Structure 1
Amino acid sequence: MGIDNLDGQTVLIVGAGIAGTALATALGRLGVHSEVIDVDDRTVGAHIGLTNRAVDVLSEIGVLDEVVEAGSAQQDNVFIRMYTEDGQAIPVPPPPRPDTDLPASIGIYRPTLSEILVRAASAAGATVRRGISVSSFSQDDTGVDVTFTDGSTGRYPLVVGADGVRSRVRELVHPDLTPHYTGVAALRWMLDEEPPGPVGFYNTRTEMVAVAPVKGGLTYVATGAESPEGHRVDAGEARDLLRSVLARFPAPVTSALLAKLTDDQNVLVHPYEWIMVPPPWHRGRIALIGDAAHATTAHMSSGGGLALEDAAVLAQELVAADSVEVALDQFTARRFERVKLVVDASVKLLEMHQAGASQMEMGMLRTKATAALIQPY
């Protein structure tokens, strides 16, 4: 039966981030209409790296050329360029890459990626509405009745929560599940200048600073700093936290960046959190994908990639299965172990770094996990 399950009906996708808009695009290209809603009216973010098979998804949903044009494509894994805190190269085992002719990774400004995916979803027939979320659900064997935050209602054969680590959909269907805070606040900064030296990952015994080029003559800087759970970090404190980290890295690149971190610079901050929702990733006809189901730290640079893979796989299963219920079961079955590998490895890498593990040890774990990730989704 496959796609006939959804013939003439509209799938509701909650969240207009990477997972939600990629799913809307994939479904639209297969003839299924979707409605995408998001409580925010714009995308906030800095740089994102899309690695391994995430690039295949971009090709599958027809946006690869546009993403490559707007970003920076690489033919090697991003974790190959490791340096000490004073700028000396660190030998690490080279992570494997997919056996395809596609780029191994693409770095892109996150709001630009969002614009591309929203345009693609709209072009594929999706309706995108901003400033609205879900208030409540009620479902039966044939569909889900939804009440929205503006008081309006609707009925859908399938609702997909793609609304991030603090998912409202997950809160409604799994009120007992909350993200785990790592004790670290992520700090991200976009400098409106070219990188002042070699890009890559700079490491002390227990800390890392990522420096990456962004198309358009920009530099992306990312790191983390310990911060109490629930503590709200304001703009000034975020800059001071980043300054304190950079001050412990005497490499010429990081020293130059520290000098450029003036009080007019904007440093984004958010808590490093992770969650792994147990299977299945659905309750009836309400499903979770992306960070709503499996948020992770950035230590495998795979969060965005997993979200893209989720979108492609769910669309494939909805087309192939005889019913929505079977499609959702198959989706979880295909995704759970692959995603768990990344979440577990990312959290372990954070713990290893905090404990002072060598980059060679961490590189071996990263290479082992990457060997699984380069396999087709």
Structure 2
Amino acid sequence: MRGGTVAVVGGSIAGCALASAAARAGADEVVVLERTHGRLADRGLGLCIHDGRAAELAATGALPAGIAAHRLTRRRWVVRDDTAGGPAGRVFWEQPFPFHSYHWGLLWRGLREATPASVVYRQGAAVTGVAGDGERAEVRLAQGTAEAFDLVVGADGYRSVVREAVCPESRPAYAGYVCWRGNFDARRLEALGDGGWPAESVTTVCFGGGSCVIYRIPGPDGPRVNWVLYAMPPQTGRRLPFDDPTSFPPGRVTEELAAHLGALLDREFPPYWARVLGLTEPADTFVQPIYDLETARTTAGRLLLAGDAATVVRPHNTSGAAKALQDATAFEDAWRRAGTWGELLHAYQAARGAAGREMVALARRLGRGQVEQTPAWAAMNHREAESWWQGQLGGAADIGGQAMTP
């Protein structure tokens, strides 16, 4: 199938990937509608993509060559042990970790630069609603205008406007815990003078009621250290505003949350790793309530969902970016095989619907095992840790997302 007009709502990683896929597949017109005016490349989050998924995505063109990435090979699980562990704690398990880490902004920039020149990327275009039950789909914009397209793709994340039209009954649900996130220039590690770890290694610090993942990522000005700490929020007797995934963006973490993090580091972390996290500037630290969501369908009429608009997966699975790029790959493949819009939408739903729900289920198991119902980490040996991990996987081959069906 060739021709037609496509609007992609949302211009981040999923949006750029879906727009490129539509253009490559033969759309006459592709328009990206991104609500923000600012520089998305400024977002400094770290993320990882499984080596197997990266190879598949590179082969399809969904993951462009030349984007900065940092190779990771091993994951070490450590606990505080004041008698035998030393300042960096005691390693109770080590496993292979075949991933590369990325800087969100650099990954987005690479995807944006690889978007075909025919794609129109409009910033400051806030979409307030969509409709797609007929032979065309309509996008309603904040300034009061409406535009019609043959297909509208929702790549607009957690609070997707397009999802409201496709699956109005599906809304992100708060998991009951949060993550503190931060990153800093890796050169700051030199000030610690002890306890360093290999550059290709990921460290997971484990404690009762939570865990923290620490690893290096590339940055615009050199390597950075990225960390994600999962735990329950402080129980203060009053409700903190965890009703939005961006409740506490960088630089706006409350004194209460900062104090809670400091106390947790003092109480639970090996001293070296507490000092590592302490190198993070307040402006580079934020708190993200953990949400998830699964949808019964990813298409309806002339509407299609991709990325976090289709499924919100807890970060434990390390699959968000890969999933968005896989959605783009499946979309392009469905387009090339289809003779009609209906065939395209049916094929995409068949390829991505169940896959998204399975990733949500896996991430929920990982959340229970690493935050909500943590084991007695310090009592585990290597064999017991391996058995515990396989129980969390529940038959999945690994974290990082599933291999795509050829």
TM bucket (normalised to shorter chain) is: 0.7 to 0.9
- Alignment partners' CA distance in 1, 2:264 and 2:314: 18
Give aligned pairs, total: 356
Q: Which position in structure 2 is the counterpart of 1:303?
A: 320
CA deviations over 1:70-112 (Å, ceiling 9, x no partner): 12134x4x6x3322245322325657xxxxxxxx422111011
Q: Which position in structure 2 is the counterpart of 1:182?
A: 175
After TM superposition, give the deviation of residue 156 of structure 1 in Å.
Answer: 0.6
Q: Which position in structure 2 is the counterpart of 1:246?
A: 265
Quick check: 1:257 aligned with 2:276?
A: yes
Out of 1, 16, 25, the residue aligned to residue 21 of structure 1 is 16
- Alignment partners' CA distance in 2, 1:212 and 1:370: 22
Quick check: 1:37 aligned with 2:39?
A: no
- Kept in 1, the 8 Å contact 2:136–2:150? The answer is yes
CA deviations over 1:135-178 (Å, ceiling 9, x no partner): 23343542112221122322111001011111121123433321
Q: Which position in structure 2 is the counterpart of 1:156?
A: 149
- Alignment partners' CA distance in 1, 2:326 and 2:140: 29
Quick check: 1:366 aligned with 2:393?
A: yes
- Kept in 2, the 8 Å contact 1:235–1:266? The answer is no
Out of 303, 309, 329, the residue aligned to residue 312 of structure 1 is 329
Report the more deviating stretch, 30-39 or 226-235: 226-235
CA deviations over 1:272-330 (Å, ceiling 9, x no partner): 1000001x311101111111111011111112211111111011101111211121121
- Secondary structure of the equivalent of 2:157? coil
After TM superposition, give the deviation of residue 55 of structure 1 in Å.
Answer: 4.3
Residues 361/243 of structure 1: CA separation in 2 closer, same or farther (3 Å cut)? farther
- Alignment partners' CA distance in 2, 1:281 and 1:261: 39
- Kept in 2, the 8 Å contact 1:164–1:292? The answer is yes
1:273 partner amino acid: Y
Report the more deviating stretch, 137-146 or 289-298: 137-146
- Kept in 2, the 8 Å contact 1:54–1:309? The answer is no
- Kept in 1, the 8 Å contact 2:64–2:114? The answer is no
1:127 partner amino acid: V
Report the more deviating stretch, 108-117 or 189-198: 189-198
Out of 89, 93, 96, the residue aligned to residue 91 of structure 1 is 93
- Kept in 2, the 8 Å contact 1:341–1:369? The answer is no
Matches within 5 A, 1:127-166: 127-166=120-159
Q: Which position in structure 2 is the counterpart of 1:100?
A: none
- Kept in 2, the 8 Å contact 1:55–1:105? The answer is no
Q: Which position in structure 2 is the counterpart of 1:73?
A: 71
- List runs of 5+ in structure 2 lacking aligned partners: 82-88, 234-238, 378-384
Residues 114/303 of structure 1: CA separation in 2 closer, same or farther (3 Å cut)? same
Matches within 5 A, 1:221-240: 221-227=227-233, 228=239, 230-231=241-242, 232-233=247-248, 234-237=252-255, 238-240=257-259
- TM-score normalized by the length of structure 1: 0.85
2:70 partner amino acid: S
- Secondary structure of the equivalent of 2:169? coil
- Kept in 2, the 8 Å contact 1:82–1:92? The answer is yes
Q: Which position in structure 2 is the counterpart of 1:289?
A: 306
The runs of at least 4 aligned residues of structure 1 exceeding 6 Å deviation read none
Structure 1 vs Structure 2 CA RMSD: 2.5
- Alignment partners' CA distance in 2, 1:361 and 1:247: 30
Report the more deviating stretch, 142-151 or 361-370: 361-370
Out of 282, 285, 291, the residue aligned to residue 267 of structure 1 is 285
2:49 partner amino acid: L
Matches within 5 A, 1:101-116: 104-116=98-110
- Kept in 2, the 8 Å contact 1:179–1:274? The answer is yes
Q: Which position in structure 1 is the counterpart of 2:343?
A: 326
- Alignment partners' CA distance in 2, 1:273 and 1:356: 19
Residues 13/362 of structure 1: CA separation in 2 closer, same or farther (3 Å cut)? farther
Rg (Cα) greater in structure: 2
2:106 partner amino acid: T
2:210 partner amino acid: E
After TM superposition, give the deviation of residue 48 of structure 1 in Å.
Answer: 0.9
After TM superposition, give the deviation of residue 59 of structure 1 in Å.
Answer: 4.0
2:305 partner amino acid: L
1:290 partner amino acid: G
- TM-score normalized by the length of structure 2: 0.80
Quick check: 1:202 aligned with 2:205?
A: yes
